[in-house]
Structure 1
Amino acid sequence: MRASASHNQDLGLPAIYLHLLAELLNTIGVDEQALLLRVGLDPVRLKSTELRVSQAQASEFVTRAIIESGEPGLGIMLAGEMKMPLHGALGTAVMSSRTLGEALDLMSRYLTLRAPHLRVTRRTEGRHAVFQVSCSIDLGPLQGFIMDAMLFGCVTMGVQLTGVAVPGSEIRRRGAEPAYFQRFRQRIAVPVRFNATEDAFLVPTAQLSAPLKFSDDQLAATSRAQCEEALHQLTEDAGFACRVRRVIETSHPFPPKLARVAGTLFVSERTLKRRLQEEESSFQNLVDQVRLERARELLENTGMNLSQIADSLGYADAANFTRAFKRWTGISPSHHRTLSRIPVTPATTRLRAMA
C-alpha cells in the first residue's frame, strides 16, 4: 500500500509548471488570477524558474483548475505546451545530449528535480526499450494530472529533440480509457494503449541512437553537473523548514500568516513552531530570509521606490523596511541599490566588501 503524500517528504513542484497551467486556463476562459489567489499563490512569483510550490498548494490548484474549467484532460493539454527550457538544467542537459537514448536516460536519472515521487525504470522488451513510470506515494488529485503530463510530455519531448514524433513509439496507460481521451486522441502522434499493466513510454531500441538537433557536448557536461548539484541540494532541502519556506516564497498575500502556512502543511500552529525549533529555525526567521532575498531582487532589478518595495514586502512604510534592511545587511536599501549598479572592478569589489 502506498503512503499518502501528507506523510512523506514534500519536495514541491517547480512553480513554472503552475504558471504554465495558469496561462493555459486563461486560454479556455478561466480566471486564472482569481483562482491562484484563492489558493494563496502569488501569480508573479510562479514565473520563477527557481522556486518550488508546496505539494499541498499545487494539488489544490490543479483540483480547482479541473473543476472550474470542466476539463479533466488538463494534463494532456499541459504536455503539449511544455518546452524543454522550462525544465531548467534538466531540460538543457536533455536538449544538448548526443542521442535520444542518452536524453531519455538523463530524464530518468534526474526526474526527481521536476516531478518528485515519480520514478522511471528502463527495461528491454523485444525490439523496444520500455520506460516505466511509477509513483511511490498516493498523490491524490495530482496523480492522474501528473501522469498525463509526464507520459504525453514524452511525445512532445521527442518531437522537440528530433524534429518528428519518434517512429514506432507507444504509450501504455493503466486502467480503462477515460471518456475525455477521445477529444485528444488526434493530437497525440503515437498510439496509446489503455488497460495496460503499467504506465510507460516505449521506444524502438533502433531509435535510441537517433541524433538530436541541439547536441552540444560542452553544454551537456555543464548542465549535467548542474543537475547533480540541484539533486543534492533538493535532497538536503527536504527538512520541514524548507517546506515552510516554499509556502512563504510563493504566498499571496505576503507575508502569509503562521496559521495559514500551518493549515497548508496540515499541521497545527504549535506543531509548526516546535518542528521549526527542532531544526533551529523559526517562522519569523524564514519570513525575513525571503524578505531579504526579495528586497535585494527588487532593489537591483527594478525601478520601484522604497515605499513600493516596502508595501510589496508587507511593511507599513518605507521607514520600517529601511530599518529591517539595515539590521539584516548593515547598509541602507538605497546604498545597496547604488552599489549594485556600480560596474564591477577590483576597487568596487573592495568597496562592497567594506560595506
Structure 2
Amino acid sequence: MRASPSQAQDLGLPAIYLHLLAELLHRLNVDDQALLLRVGLDPARLQSTELRVSQSQASEFVTRAIIESGEPGLGIMLAQEMKLPLHGALGTAVMSSGNLGEALDLVSRYLMLRAPHLRVHHKQEGDRVVFRLVCDIDLGPLQGFILDTMLFGCITMGTQLLGSPLQGAEIRRQGNEPAYFQRFRQQIAVPVSYQCREDAFVLPRSALDAPIRFSDEQLAATSRAQCEEALQQLTEEAGFDCRVRRVIETSHPFPPKLAQVASTLFVSERTLKRRLQEESCSFQQLVDEVRLQRAGELLENTGMNLSQIADALGYADAANFTRAFKRWTGVSPSQYRNQQKQHAAEPAQVPAPTLERRAVSL
C-alpha cells in the first residue's frame, strides 16, 4: 500500500519546472502571475535552478493550471518544453554521457533530484529494455501530470541527446486513453499504448549504445559527482525545518506569516512550532536565514537601493533593515555591497557573510 502525501517526506519539486509551466500558461492566455500569487508563490523566485517548491503548493498550482487553462494535457505540453540544461547537474551529467544507456542509468539513479517520489525499474523483454516508472505515494492530481511530463519528456530528451527521434521506442501507460491525447498523438514520434500493466518507456537494447552528441568524459565525471552531492544533501534535508524553509523561500508575500506556512504544510501553528523546537529551531530563525540570503543576493546582484531592498524583505523601512543586517553580519548593507565589489575584483580578500542558526531579535 502506498503512503499518502501527508505521511511521506516532502522533498519538494524544482521551482524551475513551475516557472516553465507558468510560461506555458501565459502562451495559453492564462494570467500565470495571478495564479502563482493565489497559490502563495513568488513568480520571481521560481526562476532559480536551486530552489524547490513544497509538494502541496506544486500540486495546487498544477490543479488550478489545468482548470483555468482548460487543458488536461499540460503535462505533455510541458514535456515538449523541457531542455536538458534546466534539469541542473543531472541534465549536464546526462548530456555529457558516452551513450544513451549511460544517460538512462544516470536518470534512474538520480531521478529523486527532479521527481522525488518516482523510481525507475529496469527489466529485459526480449530484445527490448523496459524502464518502468513507479510512484511511491499517491500524488493525487499531480501524479498524472508528472507521469505525462516524465514519460513524454523521455522522447524530448532522446531527440536532444541523439539529434534525431528515437527509433523503435514506445511509451506504455496504465488506464484508459484520455480524451485529450488524440490532440497530441501526431506530435509524438513514437507509438503510445494505453491499458497497459505499467507506465513505462521502452527501447530496443541496441539503442542503448547510441552515442550522445554532447559527450564529454571530464564534464560527465564532474557533474556525476555534483549529482551525488546533491542527492546526499536532499536526503539530509528531509527534516521538518527544511520543509518549512522551502515554503518560506518561495512565498509571496514575503515574509510569510506562520499561519500561512502551517496551512501550506497541513499542520496547526502549534504543531509547526513544536516540531521546529524539537529540531532546535524556530520559525523566526528560518525567516531570518532566508532574509539574509536574499539580502545578500539583492545587494550583490541588483542596483536596488536600501529602501527597495527593505520593502522586498518585509521591513518597515531601510533603517530597520540596516540594523538587522548589521547584527547578522557585523557590517552595514552599504559596506557589504562595497566589499562584494572589491571581492569580485580580488576574490581572496572578503568572505561572504553567513548566518548561524540562532534566534535574531528584529
TM-score (norm 1): 0.98
Q: Which runs of 5+ in 2 are unaligned?
A: 355-362
How many aligned positions are there?
A: 354
Paired residue for 2:23? Answer: 23
Distance (whole Å) between structure 2 residues aligned to residue 353 and residue 82 of structure 1: 34
Q: Residues 211-254 of structure 1, C-alpha deviation per residue, up to 9 Å, x if partnerless?
A: 01100000000000000000000000000000000000000000
Q: Is the 8 A contact 2:12 2:53 kept in 1?
A: yes
Helix, strand or coil for the counterpart of 2:211?
Answer: coil
CA distance in 1, matches of 2:28, 2:161: 28
Alignment of 1:50-89 (within 5 A): 50-89=50-89
Aligned to 1:276: 276
Paired residue for 2:311?
311
Q: Can you list the C-alpha shifts for 1:145-187, whole angstroms capped at 9, x where unaligned?
A: 0000000000000000001111000000000100000000011
Residue 183 of structure 1 pairs with residue 183 of structure 2:
yes
Task: Give the 3-state SS of the residue equivalent to 1:167 in structure 2.
Answer: coil
2:288 maps to 288
Residue 99 (structure 1) aligned with residue 99 (structure 2) = yes
In structure 2, give the amino acid aligned to 1:197.
R
The residue matched to 1:11 in structure 2 has which SS?
coil
Q: Which SS does the other structure have where 1:196 is aligned?
A: coil
Measure the CA separation in 1 of the matches of 2:271 and 2:44. 30
**Could you say if the C-alpha distance between residues 354 and 106 of structure 1 is closer, same or farther in structure 2, counting changes exceeding 3 Å?**
closer
- Measured in 2, the distance between the counterparts of 1:282 and 1:185 equals 51
Could you tell me which residue of structure 1 aligns to residue 264 of structure 2?
A: 264
1:298-355 residue CA offsets vs partner (Å, 9 max, x unmatched): 0001100000000000000000000000010011000000000015577x74565999
1: CA distance, partners of 2:293 / 2:224:
27
Change (3 A) 1:19 1:353: closer
- CA–CA distance in 1 between the matches of 2:297 and 2:353? 21
For residues 4-43 of structure 1, the aligned pairs below 5 Å read: 4-43=4-43
CA distance in 2, matches of 1:240, 1:272: 9
Local SS of the residue matching 1:138: coil
* CA–CA distance in structure 2, aligned partners of residues 180 and 212 of structure 1: 33
Aligned mates of 2:244, 2:157 — CA distance in 1 = 33
Q: Is the 8 A contact 2:329 2:353 kept in 1?
A: no
How far apart, CA to CA, are the structure 2 residues paired with 1:327 and 1:274? 27
2:123 is paired with a residue whose SS is strand
Matches of 1:189 and 1:280, distance apart in 2: 53
Alpha-carbon distance between aligned partners in 1 of 2:275 and 2:252, rounded to the nearest angstrom: 24
Q: What is the one-letter code of the residue matched to 2:82?
A: M
Cα distance between partner residues in 2 of 1:307 and 1:37: 23
Query: For 2:325 and 2:37, how far apart are their aligned partners in 1?
Result: 28
Task: Tell me the equivalent position of 2:117.
Answer: 117
Amino acid at match of 1:322: T
Question: Identity of paired residues, percent?
Answer: 76
**Offset, 1:6:** 1.4
2:47 is aligned with what amino acid?
A: K
Could you tell me whether the CA contact under 8 Å between 2:41 and 2:250 is conserved in 1? yes
Find runs of 4+ consecutive structure 1 residues off by over 6 angstroms. Answer: none
After superposition, the Cα gap between the structure-2 partners of 1:343 and 1:265, relative to the gap in structure 1 and judged at 3 Å, is: closer
CA spacing shift, 1:239–1:175, aligned 2, 3 Å: same
- For residues 299 and 64 of structure 2, the distance between their equivalents in structure 1, rounded to whole angstroms, comes to 35
Unaligned runs of 5+ in 1: none
1:231-250 to structure 2, matched below 5 A, reads 231-250=231-250
Which amino acid in structure 1 is aligned with residue 72 of structure 2?
A: P
Partner of 1:322: 322
Letter in 1 for 2:333: P
Amino acid at match of 1:88: G
2:149 aligned partner: 149
* Change in 2 beyond 3 A, CA 1:351/1:96: closer
Q: Work out whether residues 16 and 86 of structure 1, in 8 Å CA contact, stay in contact via their aligned partners in 2.
A: yes
Shift in Å, 1:3: 1.3
Q: In 2, Cα distance between the equivalents of 1:115 and 1:62?
A: 15
Q: Is the 8 A contact 1:339 1:352 kept in 2?
A: no
CA distance in 2, matches of 1:261, 1:351: 35
Amino acid at match of 1:321: F
Q: Write the letter of the residue equivalent to 1:217.
A: E
